[in-house]
Amino acid sequence: MADKEDGGGSDTGVKLETRPKTKKPPLYKVLILNDDYTPMEFVVHVLERFFGMSHAQAFELMLTVHKKGLAVVGVFSFEIAETKVAQVMDFAQRHQHPLQCTMEKE
């Protein structure tokens, strides 16, 4: 956004600051990766449980990951993305599945 001169034609030379002083926080994509061992139903359950998807949405996204290798499951602030990744990795590990979840700056 560019700074603007004071309007009104009198040209007083007063510069009004219109640029916001605070930038929007960066966003992070959370990705789920395919592997050959994690059961499809487990991935569907993860997507429902940690990303609030319906069963139909979760099943469709799981199939996308299965076919394409990976997919973005959501976009979040750094702290939320980090928490989601940690929750998924912990849950997968506790069930002894090699499911991988990562984050990437948008």
Q: Which of residues 45-64 bind ligand TYC (CB under 6 A)?
A: 62
Q: How far apart are CA 8 and CA 98, in angstroms?
A: 66
In the complex with ligand TYC, which residue's Cβ is closer, 70 or 77? 70
Decide whether 66 or 83 has the Cβ nearer to ligand TYC.
Answer: 66
Place of tokens 């998924």: 88
User: Binders of ligand TYC: how many residues, by CB under 6 A?
Assistant: 13
Q: Are 32 and 43 in contact (CB under 8 A)?
A: yes
CA terminus-to-terminus distance, the chain: 21
Q: Binding residue for ligand TYC (CB under 6 A) from 31, 53, 99, 103?
A: 99
Residue 88 interacts with ligand TYC (CB under 6 A): yes or no? no
